[in-house]
Amino acid sequence: MRRIVVAGNWKMFKTFQEMVSFCCKLAGYASEFEELPVTSIICPPFPYLHTSVEIFSATDVHIGSQDVSMHDFGAYTGEVSAPMLISMGIEYSLVGHSERRQYHQETDIEINLKVKILQSTGVVPIVCVGEKEQQRDEGKTDEVVTSQLETIFADIDIAADTNLIIAYEPVWAIGTGKTATPEMAQDVHKLIRDWLEIRYNKTIAERVSILYGGSIKPDNFAALLAQPDIDGGLIGGASLDIDNYLNLLQTGIKIAQEGK
Q: Count CA atoms closer than 13 A to 14's CA, side-chain side.
A: 27
Query: Binding to ligand PGA by residue 39, rule CB under 6 A?
Result: no
Task: Identify the H or E element spanning 204.
Answer: helix 202-207
Q: Annotated catalytic, 169?
A: yes
Beta bridge partners of 43: 9
Question: Is the Cβ of residue 9 or residue 251 nearer to ligand PGA in the bound state?
Answer: 9
Considering Cα of 94, then 98, then 99, then 103, what sign does the dihedral take?
positive
Query: Binding to ligand PGA by residue 44, rule CB under 6 A?
Result: no
Question: Is the Cβ of residue 131 or residue 200 nearer to ligand PGA in the bound state?
Answer: 131
Instruction: For residue 189, give Cα distances in angstroms to 200, 203, 206.
Output: 16, 16, 12
The closest residue (CB) to ligand PGA is: 236
Q: Which of 62, 131, 169, 189 is catalytic?
A: 169
CB of 31 to ligand PGA, least distance (A): 26
Residues 61-120 that bind ligand PGA (CB under 6 A): none
Look at residues 198, 255, 201 and name the one whose alpha carbon lies nearest to residue 231. Answer: 255
Considering Cα of 69, then 74, then 75, then 78, what sign does the dihedral take?
positive
Query: Binding to ligand PGA by residue 235, rule CB under 6 A?
Result: yes
CB 145 within 8 A of CB 131: yes
Helices (H), 69-129: 82-87, 98-104, 108-121
Q: Annotated catalytic, 150?
A: no
Among 118, 191, 234, 248, binds ligand PGA (CB under 6 A): 234
Residues 163-222 that bind ligand PGA (CB under 6 A): 169, 174-175, 213-216
Query: Binding to ligand PGA by residue 237, rule CB under 6 A?
Result: yes
Question: Is the Cβ of residue 153 or residue 212 nearer to ligand PGA in the bound state?
Answer: 212
Catalytic residues: 97, 169
Chain contacts with ligand PGA (rule: CB under 6 A) = 9, 169, 174-175, 213-216, 234-238
